[in-house]
Structure 1
Amino acid sequence: MTAVTLVLAAALYLYFTGGPRWLRSLTARIRSRIPGSRAGASAAARAHQLRTPRVRIAEALGIRTQAGALAARSKIGAEGERRTAARLAPLALAGWRIWHDRALPYGRANVDHLAITPRGVVLVLDTKAWSARRPVSVSGGRLWHGSRDVTGRLDGLRHEASAVAQVLGVPVIPVVVMDGPDVQGEPLELDGIHIIPARAVCTRLRVLVLGRRGHVPISQLDARVDQLLPPYLNGPR
């Protein structure tokens, strides 16, 4: 067998299987040590899980599957979360504490992004990587993506913010970061949830927390986050 054949065989093996478990584990450990690299990790893992060898073969043959469609949406979501992480970097340099993809202490939900300002104000951010072809707006007490009522898609963030507030013992501000669609009539707020465009996330968050101050030292909040909200890929508890 020639060297070229071996390389092609190895490439096909990695494509259809994702590689051996030890290699995936090593890659995850390396990524976990890179600041911001955890963003979108669980969504990416879900996409990989859905793209089984059978699904990969179907894709190679041009056959569409439900699992493949779900994997594609998970991949889009992961990419959106990574973009948000990159956009939040200036806040981290300004003294904000920021975590990505953290597990709640119960259930299977995860927090896309958790931010704590230097004054101890806590925010839970949920990235929505939706189509840019239709704008997002609020009308009649409902959230709309174009003509589609998507109010129900805020329920997850509402649950996550409530859980984080309970775990940390402090008020939490829930924020949707819209990655893709224009946000009409911003700043938008619906039932206490703030909806901001991803392109202006740092500016909007600074305005949102202006004049606010938490009641728990940031060092204590740091310790609580690390202890009670572990990285999601360590597994929901």
Structure 2
Amino acid sequence: MTDEFIEIDRGDTVWRFEREFLESNWTCLFGNGCKGILTEPAEELNQGCCSLGAHFGDGPAGQAESKEVLAYASMLTPKNFQHFDQAHEADTPGMLAIYGDDGRTHTRLVDNACIFLNRPGFAGGEGCALHIAAIEFDESPTEWKPSVCWQLPLRVDWQEVNADTETATVRRWTRADWSKHGETMAWCCTERSDGGETYAGTEQVIDSLREELTALAGAEVYVELRRRL
């Protein structure tokens, strides 16, 4: 264990968790003053980090995830999915028009934001339609949503150590993780230098993001992490 990271060795995977962030009181401000990730603050749009759509992982894992999201999207209804009609514009039977490219590597944008984002004023609820539906089905949003969406603001950096071992470093997202888009963002919710409004939650991240951390690393790792903190 180091001052910066807490390490938990699970044999094939060595988990490394950013201590300072887990002990912080960061909290998501979606729908409560989130300025978004555009070039200018845009609280009124209530887009949060959904302006770019969701990108799936690379390779077979990404393709598998895109198919899973498609399956869950097929369970959405006009009641909980504002862009239901646009999603059903596909020419291919059994397919939904939810992808932004032929390779199905990311979700489609509708009116400059993710197709799954219900806009302010929608009767079925503002925010991610997949998230809303998961709760309606009494299931975890981590099962329905693209991993990049439910993991934020957590990010996992995977690195191979040898043929049998890899490290997984769990930390907060930074501007650099948004690539070129990060250079033009007017606000980054995980950076205190951008105002620090998000670091005023009522509980520490280790508790507020318990479900996400458990989904990432498993229950045993989470219990050990909680014990060390």
- TM above 0.5: no
Structure (1/2) with the larger helix percentage: 1
TM-score by length of 2: 0.28
1 or 2 for the larger relative contact order (CA 8 Å, sep ≥6)? Answer: 2
Structure (1/2) with the larger strand percentage: 1
